[in-house]
Structure 1
Amino acid sequence: MYTKNILMTGSTGFLGSFILKNILDETCHNVFLLIRAKNQDEALIRLKKLIFRIYKEDRFTRYNKRLEVFCGDQTQSCLGLSRKKYFSLFKKINEIYHCAALTEFNEPWEKVYKVNVCGTENIFKFAYSCNKFTKLNYISTAFVVGNSRIHFTEVDLSTNQNFNNTYEKSKYEAELLAKDFIKKGLKIAIYRPSIVVGDYLSGETTNFRMFYKPFRSLSLGLFAELPLNKDGYLNLIPVDYAARAIFTLAENEDSAEVYHIVNPRHFSLPYLMDFAADFFGYKNPKFISLGEFDSNHLTAIQKKILKIYLPYFTYGALFFSEKTQKILARHHFFYPDTSKGFLERIFNFCIKSGYINSKKLNKVF
């Protein structure tokens, strides 16, 4: 089996950790991890905690020979490394998984731009200088579609869209950068996941952003009425299958393509709202059209919550992935059934972790 030297950013993140697990379990590749920390010792501690989190047991000794930690920062020159370490790295690296990103929706543009655009450009420049480089795997997002209400495919990017938050805008800008580097000859595969949620079988997640927060707000009865696109959909993909799809494409496909890592099944917004309310035992607010909604009576806290998540209550785009699905099928990868049982498992984990309180359980006890 051919052994690669892989540089990986974002390995301690939710999706990145699952991608790392695939690399460790399915290959004999050496992985060089760029981890942001105060010093080398702290970076190593973060790696050991990561391995324990991935495997639920101490397997660090087993994989230690294939892992090397670099305390660094993608936003800094030389990736925050000494010149000696930086130059030694680009003589070794064959491939990169660039997963690191600032994913919060409400961060100021300057902060998000520094990490998601400038930091990504630094990774692209590093890859461009590597002596034995083959391919860069860049984790983007399907939400580069912004507020466009279209059927969004792998060939689409610029659709005269505006963006719902600084995260979406930054990932769009990074994809434009990727196009520029592809023209220069750098091979970049772009992966656009939809909404990444908990593990398929356990429902477990370490990231309660995006999909989960609105349901927590609804369970607390914070809103009497809300706008909802009754014809809208959301696309949810289990983190383990998202990671597996990305790894499968990265390992087996050699071309610089855009891939949509999205669920073939879309969940309608009304169905999700009703399912969650019934599951957790709370009463939904009155759902009305955006044109009928008056935000003037809302409190400051309500306005802050809605500013972040309102665009996804009224979402209009659909993510299409026929091209990607056909390629994955050639490699015997297929998405699992994500119907009622899947939603029950990810919501059950919300209760188990204490993130959302179940009123049904409270009535029982």
Structure 2
Amino acid sequence: MVLVSSPRVLLTGFPGFLGSALLERLLDRGDGPIACLVQPRYRELAERRAAEIADGDGEIHLYEGDITEPGLGLGDTELGSVTELYHLAAVYDLAVDADLAEAVNVRGTEHVLDVAEDLDVDRFQYVSTCYVSGRYDGIFTEAHLDEGQQFNNHYERTKFEAEQLVQQRMAEGLPTTIYRPAIVVGDSETGETAKYDGPYYILRLVLAQPAVCSVLTTLPGSADSELNVVPRDFVVDAIAALSRREETVDEVYQLCDPTPLSVPAFVDAVADAIGHRVLSPPVPKPLTKRMMRTLAGRGWPAEPATVDYFDHPTRYACPNTRRALTDTDIECPPVESYMDTLVDFLRENPDVRAEAMR
């Protein structure tokens, strides 16, 4: 790939699901050339995606490295021209073990922050998650972070700790914008996704059963719990719009559905889209997790870690985001409006991987 000029933007998380879409959007608006930090094991995939996005015109520079290493493992690579850094790389896996989550999500973010300060960037753009909330009991907004909450898993805990680090550097003067997506699923127009996790376990479990009667257990209290799902295109559109504004520096934006479905209503939407009759008998949480482990051990599309989100006590609000996007046509579509699209993509692409990329 010919390097025609020095990169102005450094992006982590390519060739991941969100990173690939955001890279394309940034190039479309003229932010190139863009340097992408790529793990060696994803080099071939990154080259293919870069060629698809930029058509070999030199707008994408691929540098092998790893956020788990000080200096991102870049050695003497010269990035002095970089003035903006987008940090998306993380382990997006509800069942991730503690050591890996700590190394990537916490220490990795610390290393990226150090590089941002060494480069003296004009802007640090950080993708967090709404689920820094843990199991906060109530409405969680952009103004909340450390509320003494408990966490469902190591993913949530380490993303919380990582955002604490980011907010600390922001308070110390690093110009920063923080984005907290809810549960990200495929594109609302095409259904495209890079992995089947989170809510996709619900879709895949229903699809794997007979249409005349599929069974998906429910938990006590699930009727009062929301499943906050957002499509990739909304998340990328919002980040692209907010990241180019000066007034969004030192702000936090939750990219969530302001009117999400309850867990039972989400299951009903899945059943309607798939065309199955779904029965949801109430089963205690410990037994449901045990059943999920058994199903997973027998090769079914089941993940016990998802069960914690069937009685999740937190509701998400996004006043900052709604206010900032009020003069745009960017808004989160209701999940019912694109559930058919997600199901169609799943049916047509059953072999998309389930494991996380970091």
Q: Which bin holds the TM-score, normalised by the shorter protein?
A: 0.7 to 0.9
The code of the aligned residue for 1:348 comes to D
What residue number does 2:147 align with? 159
Cross-structure match for 1:350: 346
Q: Which amino acid aligns with 1:80?
A: G
- In the alignment, structure 1 residue 69 sits paired with structure 2 residue 62: yes
1:4–1:95 Cα contact (<8 Å) kept: no
| Distance in 1 (alpha carbons) for counterparts of 2:261 and 2:306 | 17
TM-score, normalisation: structure 1: 0.85
Query: Any stretches of 5+ residues in structure 1 without a counterpart?
Result: 357-365
Q: Secondary structure at the match of 2:158?
A: helix
Give the 3 Å change call, closer, same or farther, for CA 299–327 of structure 1 in structure 2.
Answer: closer
Counterparts of 1:102 and 1:67, CA distance in 2? 23
Structure 1 residue corresponding to 2:196, chosen from 208, 211, 220: 208
> 1:121·1:174 contact (CA, 8 Å) conserved in 2?
yes
Q: Cα distance, 1:294 vs. partner?
A: 4.0
Compute the TM-score of the two structures, normalised by the length of structure 2: 0.86
**Structure 2: 5+ residue stretches without partners:** 1-5, 353-358
Q: Is the 8 A contact 1:290 1:314 kept in 2?
A: no
> C-alpha offsets along residues 193-242 of structure 1, whole Å, 9 cap, x if unaligned?
00111112111111211110133124435967431511221122110121
CA distance in 2, matches of 1:13, 1:182: 26
The CA deviation string for residues 17-43 of structure 1, in whole angstroms up to 9 with x for no partner, is 1111110111243211100015xxx73
2:22 pairs with 1:33: no
Going from structure 1 to structure 2, the CA distance change for 1:27 and 1:224 (only over 3 Å counts) comes to closer
Q: CA deviation at 1:339?
A: 5.2
SS in structure 2 of the partner of residue 34 of structure 1? strand
Measured against aligned partners, the alpha-carbon deviations of 1:50-71 in whole angstroms (never above 9, x if no partner) come to 1356x5xxx4223x2x221111
Which residue does the alignment assign to 1:363? none
Tell me what 2:326 maps to: 329
Which moves more between the two structures, 106-115 or 276-285?
276-285
Matches of 1:258 and 1:297, distance apart in 2: 38
Q: Secondary structure at the match of 2:148?
A: coil
More helix, by proportion:
1
CA distance in 2, matches of 1:128, 1:78: 11
Distance 1:69 1:4, change over 3 A: closer
CA deviation map 1:134-156 (0-9, x unaligned): 11101000011111121110000
Contact 1:72 1:80 in 2 (8 A): yes
Correspondence for 1:256: 250
- Structure 2 distance, partners of 1:207, 1:295, is 24
**1:277-316 to 2 correspondences below 5 Å:** 277-288=271-282, 290=284, 294=287, 298=291, 300-302=293-295, 305=302, 307-316=304-313
User: Helix, strand or coil for the counterpart of 2:196?
Assistant: coil
Report the identity percentage: 27
Q: Give SS of 1:61's match.
A: coil
State the secondary structure of the residue aligned to 1:287: coil
User: 1:197 maps to what in 2?
Assistant: 185
Conserved 8 A contact 1:245-1:333 = no
1:46 aligns with 2:45: yes
Contact conserved, 1:226 with 1:285, CA < 8 A, in 2?
no
SS of residue matched to 2:180: strand
Which string of whole-angstrom CA distances, capped at 9 and with x for unpartnered residues, describes residues 72-125 of structure 1?
A: 11111221122x21xx21x22101000001111112100111001001100001
Structure 2 vs 1, CA of residues 243 and 146 (structure 1 numbering), >3 Å: closer, same or farther?
same
| Contact 2:225–2:263 (CA under 8 A) maintained in structure 1 | yes
Instruction: Give 2:21's aligned residue.
Output: 18
CA RMSD, aligned part only? 2.5
State the alpha-carbon separation in 1 of the partners of residues 116 and 154 from structure 2. Answer: 26
Change (3 A) 1:16 1:295: closer
Query: Counterpart of 1:217?
Result: 205
Distance 1:241 1:298, change over 3 A: closer
Is residue 119 of structure 2 the alignment partner of residue 120 of structure 1? Answer: no
